[in-house]
Structure 1
Amino acid sequence: MTFEALQQQRECILLECISGSRAYNLQLPTSDTDIKGIFILPQPELYGMTYTPQVANQSNDEVYFEIKRFLELLEKNNPNILELLNTSTDNQLFRHPLMNLVKPADFLSRLCLDTFAGYANTQMKKAKGLNKKINQSYPETRKDVLEFCYVVAGGRSVSLKDWLRENKLQQEDCGLAAIDHFRDVYALYHTSQFGAGVAFKGVFSGADANEVQLSAVPKGQDPLAIMQFNKDGYTVYCKDFAAYWEWVALRNEARYEHNRELGNDYDSKHMMHTFRLLTMAEEIALYKEVRVHRADREFLLRIRNGEFSYDTLMEMAAQKLDHMKQLYAVSDLPEHPDPALAEALLISIREEYYVPKKQ
């Protein structure tokens, strides 16, 4: 089964809903329309050698879960799946009668404390990640190995680039030899120390190099300098450099500009969803229901519009987490859903779908 094949076999769809901001009542004029749904594999595919747990379109804003995968995630109290099951009727584009067998209240449990809090924590990390990236910047050209090399001179460490410049030397004419028992420390030689015919590889091979390189050095000469390559620092730098430019390439420019215009140093949309998730978890403990359509739209959009500082939001989130824990500590929700129920439902739904009862 593929997304395209499912669209050609729409009789396999059991539930199809508008999801995301429009389901949450948090849409803006520029909001996209996301779709989530549930499907059941055609019987020949179910009996075949492969199983398709979910399908999605190329942009991943239309996602459908196979009924078995849906029930597996529902049993784990996955927030996205609980939201899908509890989507309000005005946002349900299609609902097969078999979905009436799945009662939302049968699957709510104390696991929601961890799953909703976990998703909220992920949103906070994403907001914090943007906080970090907004306040850092990397030029388009990556630093090379030479920027992380140092020599000992006059009882102190000196940048190798500065040392070479001061001594009017080129790195291409230098050769390195490893020093036993000294990690990332090398003896540095220069061709001027040797007669004609001696050539070295240089300290590194070029801008794309991730390591220094060794040369064959004739014996009988003391090194011109002792050099250390800060390999750990270079590795961290390269990782951060790559992550930054990947973020630049993939970031939602409209959201980024929105946050810049607000003067925010965090992603306000991620923080909005943090509070949505935390409040939904509180409501599950209090009312034993998942309220997808948000009555607190005004407050959540205030967060989206950047009316709170990052530190204030983090403090508010910590208070809500504490409150959640108190609510679940006294809740009479079961520890977890009954796995036998999910299995029984799966069997019933497949039997009813594949072998309809004769009238």
Structure 2
Amino acid sequence: MTIQDLHDKNLILFKAITGSKAYGLHTDTSDIDIKGIFYLPKAYFFGLDYIPQISDETHDEVYYELGRFIELLSKNNPAAMELLASSADHVLIRHPLMEAFDLQNLFNKMLVDSFVQYALQQVKKAKGLNKKINSPHLNQRKSLLDFVYVMIGSRSYPLLSWLQERGLSIHYCGLTKLEHAKNVFALYYDKKEEGKYRGIIAKLDSQEVALSSIPLGEESLALLFVNHEAYSSHCKDFIAYQEWKKKRNAARYAGTVEHGQGYDAKNMMHTIRLMEVAKDLLVHGTLIIKRSNRQELLDIKSGKWTYEQLCSQVEDMRIEIKELYSKSSLPDSLNIKSLSDLLVQIREVLYG
């Protein structure tokens, strides 16, 4: 089932413009985000073809099936609550059945917690981009040889540079296992360079060392340690980095590099916005989607503040919200049963 099917079969219950335009934070380069709620045809719902969500390829347009949407509401999901609280000028489709939702009955202290927790997740995401920006070494995958070290006395040396300093070649090296010593090997060298040993690893992309048969009486040059744990970690980071490069938003990435603050400023803008929404819930008892401090938030998005300054601001807001929390008259939690009953009532109307 596609988004076009939802329109053609009149299955959409609610559709609204969300994201930056709804928040009043859009610019000329902003995408238009749309979210909505649909219901499945009776045969799909009662059969084996339940579909919880439908979206386009870019996820700029997303629709939740009615049951899935109410499940999100029951978990105090910020995005679901904001969708339901969409201002009239951003609502594109509103089925009469949507009047059954009483937004005020959904506000509670656990919803405040959800907004705060989601805001703090954005802080971590914002700083996480800095690690990726400053990871050019992950453009090239390293070999296991880069994680092999020669141990002499109380020090260790990278094998490749150690051999190079002595004019030795890895092709004439031989290794044997050391009993009771994991990932530690004895290193031998074919002085005549006749190729009687197998080298350090069998292939350049091998994940294991190569072991050789060493004649009796041969003396080892040194002990080797193979740091498999570090190599495995590098491989995972390399794969994750390449996947991120493939999927990253090019314009957003370029903006982050340009302002040079070392964090994703858009994430931090949303952090402050989400904390403000949480505070509004406690002070005014309602969700205020469109923000009145547009320029202040856009300044954050443009990278005018350091990550540390914004983290300090977030912490101050967190303390303020904690103080307001204890004084708020909002109910402690959501009435899940009333939501469940509402879902049943709407389904009964839809399916007769």
Q: Same fold (TM over 0.5)?
A: yes
Report the more deviating stretch, 147-156 or 306-315: 147-156
Alpha carbons of structure 1 residues 180 and 351: separation in structure 2 relative to 1, 3 Å: same
Deviation at 1:155, TM superposition (A): 5.7
Aligned counterpart, 1:213 = 210
Please, which of 241, 263, 268 is the counterpart of residue 244 of structure 1?
A: 241
Q: Does 1:320 align with 2:317?
A: yes
Report the more deviating stretch, 106-115 or 36-45: 106-115
Report the Cα distance in structure 2 between the residues aligned to 1:219 and 1:335, rounded to whole angstroms: 77
Instruction: Report the count of equivalent residues.
Output: 352
Deviation at 1:258, TM superposition (A): 1.9
- The alignment partner of 2:54 has SS state of strand
Answer whether contact 1:36 1:84 (CA < 8 A) is retained.
yes
CA-to-partner distance for each residue in 1:188-246, whole Å, 9 max, x for gaps?
Answer: 2234489x78442x212344333333344455433232101122222333333333333
Aligned counterpart, 2:286 = 289
- Identity rate, percent: 42
CA-to-partner distance for each residue in 1:255-314, whole Å, 9 max, x for gaps?
Answer: 222223323211111100001111001111112211111122121111112221111101
Deviation at 1:35, TM superposition (A): 0.8
Map 1:87-106 onto structure 2 (within 5 A): 87-106=86-105
Q: Which amino acid aligns with 2:101?
A: V
Deviation at 1:333, TM superposition (A): 1.6
Q: Which amino acid aligns with 2:24?
A: N
Map 1:81-160 onto structure 2 (within 5 A): 81-138=80-137, 140-153=139-152, 156-160=155-159
Map 1:198-347 onto structure 2 (within 5 A): 198-200=196-198, 202-347=199-344
Alpha carbons of structure 1 residues 221 and 82: separation in structure 2 relative to 1, 3 Å: same
Deviation at 1:53, TM superposition (A): 1.0
Answer whether contact 2:109 2:331 (CA < 8 A) is retained.
yes
Structure 1: gaps of 5 or more residues: none
Structure 2: gaps of 5 or more residues: none
Report the Cα distance in structure 2 between the residues aligned to 1:52 and 1:182, rounded to whole angstroms: 54
Q: Which amino acid aligns with 2:51?
A: T
TM-score, length of structure 2 as denominator length: 0.93
Q: Which amino acid aligns with 1:290?
A: L
Report the more deviating stretch, 162-171 or 294-303: 162-171
CA-to-partner distance for each residue in 1:132-154, whole Å, 9 max, x for gaps?
Answer: 23334226322222122111346
Report the more deviating stretch, 182-191 or 281-290: 182-191
Deviation at 1:2, TM superposition (A): 4.1
Answer whether contact 1:138 1:244 (CA < 8 A) is retained.
no
Answer whether contact 1:176 1:186 (CA < 8 A) is retained.
yes
Report the Cα distance in structure 2 between the residues aligned to 1:251 and 1:197, rounded to whole angstroms: 47
Map 1:1-40 onto structure 2 (within 5 A): 1-9=1-9, 11-40=10-39
Map 1:56-95 onto structure 2 (within 5 A): 56-95=55-94
Report the Cα distance in structure 1 between the residues aligned to 2:259 and 2:39, rounded to whole angstroms: 45
Q: Which amino acid aligns with 1:27?
A: H
Answer whether contact 1:37 1:63 (CA < 8 A) is retained.
yes
RMSD (CA atoms): 2.1
Deviation at 1:13, TM superposition (A): 0.5
Report the Cα distance in structure 1 between the residues aligned to 2:314 and 2:208, rounded to whole angstroms: 44
Deviation at 1:66, TM superposition (A): 0.6
